[in-house]
Amino acid sequence: MAPSHTISELTRQRATLAGDILKLEDDLARLRTMLTHIDAVITYLDPTADPTGIKPRQRGRKPIVPDLFRYTLEVLRTADDPLTAWEISKAVIAKLGMEERMVNRVERSVSPYLKRKEGELVRRVPGDNRIVRWELI
């Protein structure tokens, strides 16, 4: 049998998760009620409207670094050589005085941005071992 402190910790974690689930279920019920009320007002104002046909939209997350893309381009502008998304992220973090542990989260925003702007603002420079480096056009 596992040590009692292990069982105690797992019990505590399970209780916390179960509590989180209950809160989320309450929030979900409240949101469903609000949606029903909004649907009712829409059909009251326009009896021909079909609120169920309205496509759901998710709210955007707040950016980790406001103006991250401006800083990304600034780092590329001042770089002597093409940089990887990781190197760009590290430079942005250093520039802003952020903690080094944030580099992974920043890189997850920088990399897709560079891919979206490829051919428009930046270009890929193939490197060793399929490492992609970026530079301004």
The alpha-helical segments, DSSP class H, found in the chain are 4-45, 68-78, 85-96, 103-116
99: closest CA among 108, 89, 109? Answer: 89
Q: What is the pLDDT of residues 43-68, one digit of tens each?
A: 999 999 999 999 988 777 666 777 88
Helix (H) or strand (E) holding 132: strand 132-136
Find tokens 């071992």 and name the residue.
129
Q: What is the pLDDT of residues 62-96, one digit of tens each?
A: 667 778 899 999 999 999 999 999 999 999 999 98
- What are residue 80's phi and psi, to 5 degrees? -80, -35
CB atoms within 10 A of CB 65: 20
